[in-house]
Amino acid sequence: MNTVSEKIDALKKEKNAVIVAHYYQCGETQDIADFVGDAVGMTRKAVESSADVVIVGGVTCMAETISLACPDKTVILPDVNAGCTLSNMISLKRLPTRKAQYPDAAVACYINTTPEVKTEIDFCFGEDESLDIIGKIPTGKEVMYIPDQYLGDYASTKTGRDLILWPGYCSPIVKIRAEEVKARRLEYPDAQVVAHIQCTPQVKLLADAVTTTNGIVRFARETSARTVIVAAEVGILHYLKKENPGKTFIAASELGSCATMKLVTQEAVLWSLEHLSPVIEIPEDIRKKAKPVVDAMLARR
């Protein structure tokens, strides 16, 4: 009897499919993915792939961005209930009202938002561009930085620019509290702490390094510390442990887990490959308006 992963592998070949997964995905799905990375990396891999079908091990906004960028591919999210709280905190109904308050502001938007929101922005960016994107906007121009307030606070602090922030946040990451980080430090006195840029300022102040998801992967690889406390969504620990078997990685908080991300199990992937469903489709009028900013983001290296 073939295992689930063996059945998935056979169906991938039969249907010319590729599986892209986020670092926060459950470990079993990371293990069957052809690529594991952040939202920008997943989108870029999907665009560059010769596959006809893209299975997304992530959440709705990630699948929507990939579908937006890949009009010639069938993009599938194995469980449509895999939503994103951050993406849900901003909508096309609310954004124009905010823009009307700051009519001259450039709108810089984090990738993890809906295609509809992307129709109303000037720049789309990933985590690794969280600082550089500010440099692309003239100093005297107002900037609305959406939708993550802690990502925006980090960018504002590092660049010295006053940014108009949206009151959104990554729910699992903001559950990580400074008190828990302090407790972990007492428990592991020789460990280093790395914090994600979407953490609260109080947590970031306690870290030895504050960086992006890709930055956490690099930090884990390059640090001389044998034990690392990770203040980020807990799914990334699976990837870090696989890549760095000689080191110990400790979650700053077990509460920092995205429950909806973990809905995309191997069984869900298998079912989606068997039925080529559920397909994520973007209305053409929205794609026409939103795709240029995503293409521009992918063109930046």
Q: Mind giving me the DSSP string for 53-70?
A: EEEEES-HHHHHHHHHH-
pTM of the model: 0.96
> Chain-centre distance of CA 137, in angstroms?
23
Euclidean distance between CA atoms 289 and 124, whole angstroms: 13
* CB atoms inside a 10 Å sphere around CB 221: 11
Block means of pLDDT (10 residues each) for the chain, 301 residues, are: 90 98 97 98 98 98 98 97 96 90 96 97 96 92 97 96 97 97 97 98 98 98 98 98 97 96 97 97 97 96 73
Q: Is 234 helix (H, G, I), strand (E, B) or coil?
A: coil
- Residue 130 Cα distances to 58, 70, 171, 212, angstroms: 21, 24, 19, 9
pLDDT at 134: 92
pLDDT at 184: 98
Q: Give yes or no for a contact between 190 and 225, defined as CB atoms under 8 angstroms apart.
A: yes
CATH of domain 4-81+261-295: 3.40.50.10800
Q: Where are the domains of the chain?
A: 4-81+261-295, 87-170, 176-251
Fold matches, 4-81+261-295 and 87-170: yes
Within 8 A by CB and 6+ apart from 20, the residues are: 33, 34, 35, 36, 37, 42, 45, 46, 54, 55, 56, 57, 58, 66
Q: Which amino acid is at 221?
A: R
CATH of domain 176-251: 3.40.50.10800
Q: Give yes or no for a contact between 183 and 191, defined as CB atoms under 8 angstroms apart.
A: no
pLDDT at 1: 55
Fold assignment, 87-170: Rossmann fold (3.40.50)
